[in-house]
């Protein structure tokens, strides 16, 4: 969505709107999924506050971020939804936040990838891989900068045959 011109998304309004048929076809059960990085900073800021208040990432509910994300994608010029008719007309049912991954999640990715590639799967190797990742904020090292995207390369380096 971030690379899409905001006017283009309005073209699909008839398919999402409350119409029974569009050119004799019913789209009532169709599901449209839009991916965007818009709102990422707000999600991170929210999660940092959650952590500072002694709560866990797993306690965050979708509703906690929904209004913030809706406002962010609607008001951000390069979000693809900037001043979108889809938001104006309440045609988007959910904004699902993708929360940044923590160290323990990176270890799970590492273990899954080690197993998938036929390497030994142990805590030490998974920890070595997770330790090599870059985290933010720098001091606290809470969230992985790249999620699990570069775990694959680390698995190739640290993985040991069974």
Whether 56 and 11 share a structural domain: yes
Statement to judge: residues 26 and 86 lie in one domain? yes
Residues 6 or more apart whose CB falls under 8 angstroms from that of 146 comprise: 133, 134
Q: Do 12 and 82 sit in the same domain of this protein?
A: yes
Whether 110 and 126 have beta carbons less than 8 Å apart is answered as yes
Q: pLDDT for 38-88, tens place per residue?
A: 888 899 999 999 999 999 999 999 899 988 888 888 888 777 778 888 888
Which residue has 């690379």 as its token pair? 3
Is the pLDDT confidence value at 22 over 70? no
Please tell me whether residues 35 and 115 are part of one structural domain: no
Which of 93-97's residues contact partners 24+ apart within 8 Å by CB, and which partners? 94/62, 94/66, 95/39, 95/62, 95/65, 95/66, 95/69, 95/70, 96/62, 97/39, 97/43, 97/62, 97/65, 97/69
Residue 18 has pLDDT above 90, yes or no: no
Domain span at residue 54 reads 1-99
Same domain as 115, residue 79: no
Identify the weakest region by mean pLDDT among 18-27, 46-55, 100-109, 152-161.
18-27
Q: What are the φ/ψ torsions at residue 22 (nearest 5 degrees)?
A: -125, 115
Query: Phi first, then psi: what are they for 133, rounded to 5°?
Result: -75, 160
Same domain (yes/no): 76, 106 = no
pLDDT number for residue 54: 95
Whether residues 3 and 24 share a domain: the answer is yes
Whether the ω angle into residue 80 lies within 30 degrees of 0, i.e. cis, is no
- Count how many domains the chain has: 2
Residue 160 confidence (pLDDT) above 70:
yes
Confidence category of residue 1, pLDDT binned at 50, 70, 90: confident
> How does residue 158 score in pLDDT terms, banded at 50, 70 and 90?
very high
Query: Across all residues in the chain, what is the average pLDDT?
Result: 88
pLDDT category of residue 116 using cuts at 50, 70 and 90: very high
Mean pLDDT of 82-102: 86
Given 99, 116, 148, which residue is the final one in a domain? 99
Same-domain pairing of 52 and 126? no
| Model confidence pTM above 0.85 | no
127 shares its domain with 55:
no
Domain boundary pick from 81, 99, 117: 99
Q: Tell me which of 99, 133, 149 is where a domain ends.
A: 99
Cβ–Cβ under 8 Å, residues 100 and 112: no
Average pLDDT over residues 144-149: 94
Q: Are 145 and 135 in contact (CB under 8 A)?
A: yes
Same domain, 13 and 86: yes
Indicate whether 147 pLDDT > 80.
yes
Q: Where are the alpha helices (DSSP H) in 76-119?
A: 85-88, 103-116
Q: Are residues 74 and 86 in the same domain?
A: yes
Cα separation, 24 vs 98, in Å, equals 36
Distance linking the first and last C-alpha atoms of the chain: 42
If asked whether residues 72 and 124 sit together in one domain, one would say no
Whether residue 27 contacts residue 15, with contact meaning beta carbons closer than 8 Å, is answered with: yes
């Amino acid at each position: 969505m971030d690379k899409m011109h905001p006017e283009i998304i309005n073209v699909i309004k008839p398919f999402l709107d409350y119409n029974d048929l569009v050119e004799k076809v019913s789209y009532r059960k169709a599901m449209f999924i839009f991916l965007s990085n818009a709102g990422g900073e707000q999600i991170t800021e929210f999660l940092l506050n959650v952590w500072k208040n002694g709560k866990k990432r797993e306690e965050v509910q979708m509703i906690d971020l929904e209004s913030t994300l809706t406002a962010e994608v609607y008001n951000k010029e390069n979000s693809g939804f900037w001043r979108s008719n889809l938001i104006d007309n309440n045609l988007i049912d959910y904004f699902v936040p993708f929360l940044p991954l923590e160290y323990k999640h990176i270890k799970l990715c590492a273990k899954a990838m080690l197993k998938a590639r036929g390497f030994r799967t142990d805590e030490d190797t998974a920890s070595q891989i997770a330790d090599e990742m870059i985290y933010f904020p720098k001091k606290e090292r809470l969230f992985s900068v790249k999620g699990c995207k570069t775990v694959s390369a680390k698995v190739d380096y640290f993985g040991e045959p069974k």
